Structure 1
Amino acid sequence: MKYKMYLGCFFMVLVLSFINIYLLIPSLMKIFPIADVSTKVLIGWDNAIERFMLMVILGPFVETLVFIFAPIKILEDKMNVYSIGLISCVVFSLTHFYSLQYVFLSFFTGVYLFASFLLFKKKYSINIAFFSVSMIHLLNNLYHFILK
């Protein structure tokens, strides 16, 4: 029976990743057009392996931990979840200050990731929410890493 839970979770990650990569981000990029910025410029490294490790493997897990998981765990008894989400998304977007347009795009991506976290937390658990949202973020970054 547990495999059905993981299969359902896996399916949700794929669907939410698809929505983010193919619907949300292209729509937002029409509103907030961004000049073509390579991943090399974004994180400032020439070495593709280091960029891949930081942007695709390490970054999504650290950012999910710092900007979603920890704030919810620490603040959920002190603030409502929407206030936590707003603060979290603003801070998340400000750490992506490559351009003003990129900040706006990152804010809405942060909202999407935060809402996805709440969905997984409600349906499964906070630990599965952490892993699932990290995977959605990872797949998003992998997509952009491959394109650039």
Structure 2
Amino acid sequence: MIRVDLINEQTLAAPEANQFQYWLAALEKHQTAEGEVCIKIVDEAESQSLNHTYRNKNRPTNVLSFPSEVPKFVASDHLGDLAICASVVAQEAAEQGKSVADHWAHMTIHGVLHLLGFDHVDDCDAATMESLEVTILQSLNIDNPYAA
């Protein structure tokens, strides 16, 4: 089971911890995963700073994933951390004609899949990751986020 530790110091509009837990329970039905994920809701300035520092992209982004780097000899069930920018998620949802809640679900699942080792650097990996995202989201009655 994936457990959520939610940090929302920004008092920005964001789902409650139990909503994140619900989405991640759907992920677990399709992907073996156990551990703890810390989700921090950030503003655009913090998102931009993190994105610039860790990805060399000087703009805010929807979700950043930071896999746990605990040494193998240390017992830990921490999968990693997510930084999700509430205003970017809301803006993207509006631009893409999606509900904000559905986009939060997508960004959360997308971020945790990165923590589990999935990526979309090349077309083959992207197809695998997107297919899994679509399957998980469909189990939550959320439409394919990649459909035109």
Mark yes or no: TM-score above 0.5: no
Decide which structure has greater strand share: 2
RCO higher in structure (CA 8 A, sep ≥6):
1
Q: TM-score normalized by structure 2? A: 0.31
Q: TM-score normalized by structure 1? A: 0.31
Decide which structure has greater helix share: 1
